[in-house]
Amino acid sequence: MGRAAIELRQVAADVAKIPDAGLFAAAKLVKRVADDAARATVSGGDMSGKHRRPIKLRARDKSIRPIDHGRAILITGVPAGPWVWVTSGTAPHTIRRRKRGPMRKMTVHHPGTRGRDAWTIVIDRSTELVPLIFRDLVDRAI
Amino acid sequence: MAGNDPKIQIDITARDEATDKLEDVAATVDKLEEASPEVTVGADTSAAETGLRDVADAAGRLSHDDTELVIKAQIDQAKGQLKELQSQLEATGDKAIDTSEKLDKVDGGGGSGLRGNAIADLTGPLGDASGAASDFAGVFDGLGDAAEAAAGKLGLSEDIAGKLGSALGGLGVAVAAGAAIWTLWSQHAEAARKKARELAEAQAAVGEAIRDGNREAALSNFHKAYDEAIAAAEKFGLKQQDVIGFITGETEALPGLTDKYNELKTARDNTADPRMRGLADERIKAFEDETAALETNRQKYKDSTAAAGDKKDAEDKLARQLGFTEDAQKDTTKAVGDSVAKLDAAKQSTLDLEDGYRRLQDRLSTTRAIEDFQTAMQEAQTAIHDKSEDTKVDLRGVEDAIIAAGEAAKLNPIDVQTAIQKADQGDIDGAYLFLQQKINEKGPLTVPVTLHATIPKLVIAGRGGTQMVIELDPTKAAAPPPAAAAPSHVTINMPAGSRGVDVVRQVAGQARRSGRRFGAPVVSYARR
């Protein structure tokens, strides 16, 4: 085999490694972006849940799966409900009164929230940054 | 279910269609490379071909018989030149030693520094080269004598010995010449090897001829000595082969001898006639005499064989001497090759010495010009101090001294003009200090003498014969020493809480500091 052919095959082998390496780095990046977006949306990235238990907004990835001519990875915001709330907002609803006493089970009206497009921010930011990762890997391979 | 809500999912896909295409391209390129396409480059190679033909012609001449004579004649000329070179080298060495001693005296006997660094290094190779030149000439003197002496020991005639000595000498020189350029031109070395093989074959042929000559002489003498006995024995019906075998000791008895003797005696006894009986007695008497003669010849041959053995030992001894001669020629070849390298070193050393003298002369002229300047300035200061004013003559002397010193030190003309203006304005001290400062800025004057190796190059010149010329590479200017890098000082403010003295890690931002409270972005996995 000639020298040029060997070098081309080496490049092809390096290019073949890009999908897995790029998806792995992209998943880490998206999760970090999700953490930043959560912190920017709610104080400290935690929502106050029932019994004052904090709800941490974060992102989780599934393992890399094969697809036609490539690979793919799915990143999901967890827990899903709070992410929807901070993204789309909530309709008016009633909530329990949070005080002790004979009237502790009384419900009160909550006017709802407008939503702060938290996950939309994650998507926009990831759409901007993830291609840079793959571009960098391609530059290194070639 | 909210967990499957596509609103909060990001699915990143990476499709790779490049790898297969790259593999296809690589396969195509591989086929193209296996095709070994020819690339024709147009160039004028006539000059190179001419040079190669010249080299081939020279190589052919070296293997020609006439070349031996040419080389031998040139060697005689070279011996004279070598003696002249030896005397020149010795004279140069003495001159170098004398010069170094004078330099020591100039510096008050403390040593100039030059002697230790340059001249002392040069005198060593000069001495070696002188000895090499002597060895080189002596080699040629002894070569022909050794060859003729070896030929004389062979017992050959004077005429043949002379021819053999000439051949051995010529061949030896050819071997020496080939070995001297062994590493420079392989074709010469090949020719030398060919000559060496011819020499070895010639020596073997001479030894074989001697042995064959002895064998033929012995065979001739054998027939001359034993022909009568063999002929007489044949008369009695004995076979010639059996007789020769008996005489030479190959057999202990002659087959049929006893039977023949008994047959003669029986024939005599059976004869009643007195005359026939007398004739039979004579035949028996002749047979007995012949038998005794055969026995005598057998003993003579036995005695002569011992002498032949001694002669064979002498021949073996001569063969060993020839081997010694061949070894001596090999040693001579090596000595000649070593001498060539020493001569190269000597010539280069001579060039370096001349270069050192030239630099030394420059240095002395520069130093003297600056000393004159300093003297003139000091005298001008003294005169002005004594007279309380500067005279026109003093100023002119100062101006001349400034110009001479500036030219010798190769100062910028602007600096020289500035110094002259200072002197003209009456600031003699200022002019002196200014010019001295500029001279000092030029740095100390040094004499760089560097011994550097050069590559000898072989040149084949002339059509009349092969001439070996060692052409030294043109003297390369010694590379100036690299300037020392100016020291730079960097102030590094170490971050609070930094540990140890690993400045590199601290500056590179890879240090672990004591917590987020410093707000540094390099902190990772810090405890809260």
ipTM: 0.85
B33 to A4: CB separation less than 8 angstroms, yes or no: yes
Strands of B439-515 (E only): list them. 457-460, 468-471
- Range from A50-54, B197-201, B354-358, B501-505 carrying the lowest mean pLDDT: B501-505
Residue A35 predicted with pLDDT over 90: yes
- B458-482 pLDDT, tens digit each: 333 333 333 333 333 333 333 444 5
> Which of A8, A22, A70 has the CB atom closest to B26's CB atom?
A8
> Which of A12, A30, A67 has the CB atom closest to B22's CB atom?
A12
**Is residue B217 very low, low, confident or very high in pLDDT (cuts 50, 70, 90)?**
low
Q: For B484, list phi and psi in degrees, rounded to 5.
A: -70, 135
**Is residue A33 very low, low, confident or very high in pLDDT (cuts 50, 70, 90)?**
very high
Residue A116 predicted with pLDDT over 50: yes
Number of residues written out for chain B: 528
End-to-end C-alpha distance for chain A, whole angstroms = 20
Furthest-apart CA atoms within chain B: distance in Å: 168
**Is residue B185 very low, low, confident or very high in pLDDT (cuts 50, 70, 90)?**
very low
Which two structure tokens, joined as six digits, stand for B349? Answer: 């050393």
Q: Is A110 helix (H, G, I), strand (E, B) or coil?
A: strand
Instruction: Tell me the C-alpha distance between B335 and B341, whole Å.
Output: 10
Asked whether B220 and B199 are in contact (CB, 8 A), the reply is no
Residue B395 predicted with pLDDT over 80: no
Instruction: Tell me the C-alpha distance between B491 and B503, whole Å.
Output: 11
**Is residue B201 very low, low, confident or very high in pLDDT (cuts 50, 70, 90)?**
low
Asked whether B402 and B428 are in contact (CB, 8 A), the reply is no
One-letter amino acid for residue B68 of the chain: E
Question: What value, to the nearest 5°, has the Cα angle with vertex B380 and ends B378 and B385?
Answer: 95
More confident residue, B521 or B334: B334
More confident residue, B380 or B43: B380
Q: What is the pLDDT of residue A36?
A: 92
Q: What is the pLDDT of residue B58?
A: 53
Chain A residue at shortest CA distance from B27: A5
B27 to A5: CB separation less than 8 angstroms, yes or no: yes
A84 to B7: CB separation less than 8 angstroms, yes or no: yes
Place of tokens 């004077």: B158
Q: Give the H/E segment covering residue A64.
A: none
Mean predicted confidence (pLDDT) in B190-205: 59
More confident residue, B281 or B214: B281
Q: Please report residues of A whose CB lies closer than 8 A to that of B34.
A: 2
Asked whether B22 and A11 are in contact (CB, 8 A), the reply is yes
Residue B188 predicted with pLDDT over 90: no
**Is residue B252 very low, low, confident or very high in pLDDT (cuts 50, 70, 90)?**
confident
Q: For A90, list phi and psi in degrees, rounded to 5.
A: -130, 150
* DSSP code of residue B479: P
- The alpha-carbon radius of gyration of chain B (Å, integer) is 49
**Is residue B140 very low, low, confident or very high in pLDDT (cuts 50, 70, 90)?**
very low
Which two structure tokens, joined as six digits, stand for B334? Answer: 């090596």
What percent of chain B clears pLDDT 70, i.e. is strictly above it? Answer: 34
A112: nearest Cα among A88, A140, A132, A131: A88
B192: nearest Cα among B179, B208, B205, B209: B179
Instruction: Tell me the C-alpha distance between B501 and B493, whole Å.
Output: 12
Q: For an interface test with B, give the residue of A3, A11, A139 to mutate (most B CBs within 10 A).
A: A11
Residue B458 CB burial class (10 angstroms; 0-12, 13-18, ≥19): middle
Which two structure tokens, joined as six digits, stand for B181? Answer: 């350029």
Residue B202 CB burial class (10 angstroms; 0-12, 13-18, ≥19): middle
Instruction: Tell me the C-alpha distance between A72 and A64, whole Å.
Output: 6
Instruction: Tell me the C-alpha distance between B436 and B431, whole Å.
Output: 8
A80 to B5: CB separation less than 8 angstroms, yes or no: yes
Q: What is the pLDDT of residue B214?
A: 56
- Range from A53-67, B142-156, B292-306, B499-513 carrying the lowest mean pLDDT: B142-156
| Helix pair angle (B428-441, B413-424), 10° resolution | 160
- B63-74 pLDDT, tens digit each: 444 444 444 555
Q: What is the pLDDT of residue B397?
A: 75
**Is residue A59 very low, low, confident or very high in pLDDT (cuts 50, 70, 90)?**
very high
Q: For B300, list phi and psi in degrees, rounded to 5.
A: -65, -45
A5 to B15: CB separation less than 8 angstroms, yes or no: no
> Which of B8, B18, B32 has the CB atom closest to A119's CB atom?
B8
- The alpha-carbon radius of gyration of chain A (Å, integer) is 22
Average pLDDT in chain B:
61
B15 to A67: CB separation less than 8 angstroms, yes or no: yes
Instruction: Tell me the C-alpha distance between B344 and B93, whole Å.
Output: 16
Instruction: Tell me the C-alpha distance between B252 and B414, whole Å.
Output: 119
B89: nearest Cα among B133, B119, B120, B121: B133
Q: Is B414 helix (H, G, I), strand (E, B) or coil?
A: helix
**Is residue A60 very low, low, confident or very high in pLDDT (cuts 50, 70, 90)?**
very high
Q: What is the pLDDT of residue B39?
A: 47
Instruction: Tell me the C-alpha distance between B132 and B43, whole Å.
Output: 46
**Is residue A34 very low, low, confident or very high in pLDDT (cuts 50, 70, 90)?**
very high
> Which of B8, B22, B29 has the CB atom closest to A77's CB atom?
B8
Asked whether B373 and B398 are in contact (CB, 8 A), the reply is no
Instruction: Tell me the C-alpha distance between A138 and A17, whole Å.
Output: 10
**Is residue B12 very low, low, confident or very high in pLDDT (cuts 50, 70, 90)?**
confident
Q: What is the pLDDT of residue B159?
A: 55
Which two structure tokens, joined as six digits, stand for B21? Answer: 């295409």
Q: Please report residues of A whose CB lies closer than 8 A to that of B18.
A: 12, 15
Instruction: Tell me the C-alpha distance between B302 and B118, whole Å.
Output: 77
Asked whether B424 and B396 are in contact (CB, 8 A), the reply is no
Instruction: Tell me the C-alpha distance between B396 and B85, whole Å.
Output: 53
Tell me: cis bond preceding B6? Omega within 30 of 0 counts. no
- B407-435 pLDDT, tens digit each: 877 788 888 888 888 888 777 778 878 88
Residue A18 CB burial class (10 angstroms; 0-12, 13-18, ≥19): buried
Establish how many alpha carbons lie within 13 A of residue B305's alpha carbon, considering only the half-sphere containing its beta carbon: 10
Q: For an interface test with B, give the residue of A24, A28, A76, A128 to mutate (most B CBs within 10 A).
A: A76
Residue A71 predicted with pLDDT over 70: yes
Furthest-apart CA atoms within chain A: distance in Å: 88
Asked whether B100 and B66 are in contact (CB, 8 A), the reply is no
Instruction: Tell me the C-alpha distance between B250 and B301, whole Å.
Output: 11
Q: Is B444 helix (H, G, I), strand (E, B) or coil?
A: coil
**Is residue A111 very low, low, confident or very high in pLDDT (cuts 50, 70, 90)?**
very high
Chain B residue at shortest CA distance from A82: B2
Instruction: Tell me the C-alpha distance between B453 and B122, whole Å.
Output: 13
Instruction: Tell me the C-alpha distance between B192 and B169, whole Å.
Output: 14
What percent of chain A clears pLDDT 90, i.e. is strictly above it? Answer: 41
